[in-house]
Amino acid sequence: MRSRLESDRGIHAEQIAFGAETLDRRLGGGLVRAALHEIYGDTADEASAGGFALLLAWRARKAKPIFWVREEKADRLGGKPYGHGLAGLGIDPNALLLVNAPDSIAALRAGADISRCSAVGAVIIEPFGKAPVLDLTASRRLALAAGQNEVMTLLLRTGVEPMPSAAHTRWQVASAPSTPLPANAPGIPAFDVTLLRHRGGIAGIEARLEWNRDRQSFDQAPLSGGVPAVAIGGTSQAVERRAA
C-alpha cells in the first residue's frame, strides 16, 4: 500500500498508493502523504468528488481518525455522510470526525491546525464556493502544515475553476458507470479521474477507478461500458445522488 519516493526536498517521502497497479506505476508509487492534494468536481459531481476524497483519506489514515472540515454552507447544502453508506464501503463511521466552520477562513485555519497533529490520519478541507481567501499564500500554509507531521491533506473544491496553488497534485473527479454486476444490479462506486497538475511534472493521466470494498483499495476499470454505480450515500439530495 505504501512506498517510498525521493521528494522535492531530497528526502524520502512516504506515498499512499491507490491500489490500481497501472495508475500507481504512472505516479511513481502513489500520492505523497506529507502533502496537500486538491480534488475538484463539477456541481453535479459533488457527491462523487467528496466520496473520492473520503476513500483516499481512508487509504491514508494508518488506523487514525479522519477529520472532514466543512464550511457551514457546504454542510447545509451538501448534506452529511451517511453512516450505513460508509459502512457499506468498508469505512468505520466512528473513524470520521466532522467539523463545521462558520466561514472559509475558519475552515482553513482549523484544517491547518488539524494537519499539524500527528494523531490524525488524514484531513479533508471543504470551503464553500470560490472562497477568495484560499489564495496561493493560504495553500502554501496548508502544504507546510501537511508536511510537518506527514498528515495527508485533501482540499475539496466543487463547482469552481482551479486556481494557482501549492498543492502537490490536482485532480478532476467525475462520476462514472461501473462494471456490470449479475442480474444488472447497481454497480460499485466508480470515478473518472484526471490528473490536472503534478509538481513532479507527470501529466496526461486519465483513469476510471472503482472502489473495492474487500481490498479497501481502488481497481482500474475500462474507460467505456458499465452500469450506474451505487451512490456514496448521505442525508441530503446532493449526497444521495446516484454516482451515475
pLDDT digits (tens, 9 = 90+) for 113-167: 999 999 999 999 999 999 999 999 999 999 999 999 999 999 999 999 999 999 9
Could you read off the pLDDT of 81-112 as tens digits, one per residue? 888 889 989 999 999 999 999 999 999 999 99
> Is the pLDDT score of 3 beyond 90?
no
- The pLDDT value given to residue 203: 81
- The pLDDT value given to residue 225: 53
Give the predicted TM-score (pTM) of the model: 0.85
Mean pLDDT for the chain overall: 86
- Quote the DSSP letter at residue 54: H
CA end-to-end span of the chain, whole Å? 28
| Least confident piece of the model among 62-66, 175-179, 194-198 | 175-179
| Least confident piece of the model among 8-17, 26-35, 61-70 | 8-17
CA separation (Å) from 229 to 63, 178, 187, 215? 28, 5, 4, 18
**Radius of gyration of the chain, Cα coordinates, nearest whole angstrom:** 17
**Phi and psi of 154, rounded to 5°?**
-115, 120
Could you read off the pLDDT of 228-238 as tens digits, one per residue? 444 344 433 33
- Walk me through the domains of the chain, giving residue ranges and CATH numbers: 2-240 (3.40.50.300)
Q: What percent of the chain has pLDDT over 90?
A: 70
CA–CA dist 218, 17 (Å, integer): 9
The whole-number average pLDDT for the span 170-186 is: 86
CB 124 within 8 A of CB 154: yes
Question: Under 8 Å CB-to-CB from 100, ≥6 apart: which residues?
Answer: 70, 71, 72, 75
| Least confident piece of the model among 20-29, 127-136, 165-174, 224-233 | 224-233
What are 6's strand-pairing partners? 12
The whole-number average pLDDT for the span 179-199 is: 87
